[in-house]
Amino acid sequence: MVTYLKLLLIIIHTIIISILVLISSIIDRSQYLYFKLAKVFSGGVLFLGGVKLKITGLENIERDKAYIFVSNHSSQFDIPTLQHAIPLKTSIVYKKELNKIPLFGWQMMLGPYIAVDRKKAESASKSIETAKIFMSEKGRSILLFAEGTRSKNGEVQPFKRGAFYLASRAGFPIIPVSISGAQRILPKGKFKIKSGTIQVHFDRPIYTGDITTRKDELDLMEKVREIVIQNLE
């Protein structure tokens, strides 16, 4: 019963915040309110789910810089976890299918996030260019889940190239992010939310100014994946 009550409260919380975000998207073109409400949303989801965060590596993030955050992905709790943990204005690259979800998907579509259609190569290329503009012109950081989808068993899947192609084109540093414990809180395909602690570790920035070839990108991809795996609790 407690589990279903948690889920119900999170759904109600999501609906309320989504409505407020939709309104803010109309009246606030700077999207300042959007990012503030994203913190309220993520904090509320974690609180209602009985989830605590243990965050390490914040000293590796300079508050006046933009980064490409590259994280593993095993749970629906990963997004609110990183919305709450990353201390910068950050645009998330997310799968376009989420746009179909009433209210929640609509506010993501109108917000400072980047939708990508994983079935179309041109959509992926366009999302990379949009992310580059966000970083260069607006000073925003970008969050990508490099596996492309959630892991079913919590093990880190092979990474996709998008984040590293972006790094080579935009020239911004990558911060590897390791999320541990989220898969136990809410595994892929499950609706039973368990209370617990999620650990988030931000590793040192990897500078990408010398990434010039496809091989460089692939080498960087494997390096970042190894760091993410090494820092998992």
Tell me, yes or no, whether 43 lies in a domain.
no
Which residues fall within 8 angstroms of residue 177, CB to CB, at 6 or more apart?
69, 70, 71, 72, 82, 200, 201, 202, 203, 228
Q: What's the total number of domains in the chain?
A: 1
For helices 2-27 and 32-48, what crossing angle results, to 10°? 180
Would you place residue 203 in the very low, low, confident or very high pLDDT band (cuts 50, 70, 90)? Answer: very high
Q: What is the pLDDT of residue 1?
A: 43
Tell me the C-alpha distance between 38 and 17, whole Å.
8
Q: What is the pLDDT of residue 2?
A: 63
Q: What CATH number has the domain bearing residue 204? A: 3.40.1130.10
pLDDT at 18 over 60: yes
Q: What is the pLDDT of residue 156?
A: 85
Tell me, yes or no, whether 10 lies in a domain.
no
Tell me, yes or no, whether 16 lies in a domain.
no
pLDDT digits (tens, 9 = 90+) for 113-151: 888 876 666 666 777 788 888 888 888 999 988 887 766
pLDDT at 39 over 70: yes
Would you place residue 16 in the very low, low, confident or very high pLDDT band (cuts 50, 70, 90)? Answer: very high
Tell me, yes or no, whether 224 lies in a domain.
yes
Specify the higher pLDDT residue, 70 or 101. 70
pLDDT digits (tens, 9 = 90+) for 124-133: 677 778 888 8
Q: Can you tell me the mean pLDDT for 36-51?
A: 94
Tell me, yes or no, whether 5 lies in a domain.
no
Kindly list the distances between the CA atom of residue 162 and the CA atoms of 40, 73, 108, in Å, as whole numbers in the listed order: 29, 15, 20
Tell me, yes or no, whether 42 lies in a domain.
no
Q: Can you tell me the mean pLDDT for 188-200?
A: 86
Tell me, yes or no, whether 88 lies in a domain.
yes
Degrees, nearest 5: CA angle 168-108-72: 50
Tell me the C-alpha distance between 125 and 139, whole Å.
20
Q: Report residue 66 CA to chain centroid gap.
A: 14
pLDDT at 216 over 90: no
* Structural domain that includes position 220: 51-230
Tell me, yes or no, whether 9 lies in a domain.
no
